[in-house]
Amino acid sequence: MKKIIIAIDGYSACGKSTTAKIVASKLGYAYIDTGAMYRATTLYFHEHYVNITDPKAIHKALENIHITFVFNPKTNRSETYLNGLNVEDEIRKMYISENVSEVSAIKEVRKYMVALQQKMGKKKGLVMDGRDIGTAVFPTAELKIFMQADMHVRAFRRQQELLEKKQVVGIEDIIENIAKRDHLDTTREEGPLKKAEEAYVLDTTHMTVDEQVDFVINLSVGKMIESHNSIIIS
């Protein structure tokens, strides 16, 4: 069966990464968390006091950023490494969430990350989630999913994620953060969050993770068969 690219876009805390990881595992595909790439970049900018209004400082910083994903058999997940250091837990903290949208809106940052992501997808057999995967990174992806959910449901899910990491954050603060990110993500000039014309909408408000995964897997199999048949016909 011909391998395809599965692009999953959508708002934060809709279950994109969770669903994408499981789908990739079930299909034997590679999984790339683009949000983690922008979070790692935000962490580097924060630790090195990079002025996000200074093009030269941004360019110099990007030249020194190396992001990789390493599978951890103990946690059964891929973890984010920034310049050789595991930053998976650090990049999930609120201070990163509060600044990642501004960093990811920078044109040069976006251009640099998109080039890396496209390079990762050359061999296909890939599940990638983010904000502009189906519109900017892989506009010709065989399957595009756009995820959304009720704001309060998203906030509750994010609060639970933080609690699991022993971070206590009030629900109103999380709603404010998510609303701010939504605004920045949808209005930025470079790679704004928007539904690709041919994307399937997946509203996860009342769905379990298993139901979300089944939705994507069923569509994936259909697209694989479609791609396979097109090769035979041609």
Residues 47-84: tens digit of each pLDDT: 999 999 999 999 999 999 999 888 788 877 788 999 99
- In whole numbers, what is the pLDDT of the chain averaged over residues? 92
Burial class (CB in 10 A: 0-12, 13-18, 19+), 80: buried
Tokens linked to 185: 């993500």
Type of residue found at 37: M
> What are the structure tokens assigned to 60, written together?
């110099």
pLDDT (0 to 100) of residue 5: 96
Task: Round to whole Å and give the CA distance between 131 and 34.
Answer: 8
**Per-residue model confidence (pLDDT) at position 230:** 64
CA 150 to chain centroid, in Å, comes to 19
Report pLDDT for 73: 80
Please say whether the beta carbons of 10 and 154 come within 8 A: no
Residues of the chain with pLDDT under 70: 228, 230-234
- The pTM of the full predicted model, rounded to 2 decimals, is 0.83
